[in-house]
Amino acid sequence: MTSFIELWKEGRTRFINQLAKITPEDLSKKLGDSPNSVGFLIRHIAEVELLFAKNVFGNMDVKVDAQTLKVGKDTGEWRDLGALMALVEEAGKQLEKAINSQQDWEAVIKTQEFGEKTKAAALGRITTHTAYHAGQLAIVLKYGE
């Protein structure tokens, strides 16, 4: 189990390491005509991590209101850096708790979003989801306005 936590934490560093440098002014940055701002991307990553903790790995203590998924686009409302950082921290805690609680990583789970996968494959999916959007975040922070 320790190996799975280490794998997830290492993958998440692509996201977490960027957060220390983000300013409130960065949150509205977008890249060209891209629909997603820095604030939206941060919120989206945290929401999906919370959804995985609850719906995929069974951490029923999780409270999540997946606003970015509900609206499906950046509405310009995710500009509170403190609130975003608190959500990211909560997502990390809850997902780590959920990962630590798993017993059978070969057990198959079924979700509406991505069908049937082993728990190990689902962990790969959330890790790469976070890293994928972290890459987008890095580009928007570097080149966005």
63-90: pLDDT as tens digits: 999 999 999 989 999 999 999 999 999 9
Give the mean pLDDT of the chain: 95
Q: 136 exposed, middle or buried (CB, 10 Å; 0-12, 13-18, 19+)?
A: middle
* Distance linking the first and last C-alpha atoms of the chain: 42
pLDDT in the model for residue 6: 95
- By the 8 A CB rule, do 80 and 72 touch? no
Q: Which residue in 35, 37, 98, 36 sits closest to 64, CA to CA?
A: 98
Domains and CATH numbers, the chain: 2-143 (1.20.120.450)
Predicted confidence (pLDDT) at residue 55 exceeds the cutoff of 70 = yes
In 101-118, which residue ranges form alpha helices assigned H by DSSP? none
pLDDT in the model for residue 1: 54
Six-digit token string for 88: 């990211």
Alpha carbon distance 3, 38 (integer Å): 31
The count of other CB atoms within 10 Å of the CB of residue 97 is 14
What percentage of the chain carries pLDDT values higher than 70? Answer: 99
pTM: 0.95
Predicted confidence (pLDDT) at residue 38 exceeds the cutoff of 90 = yes
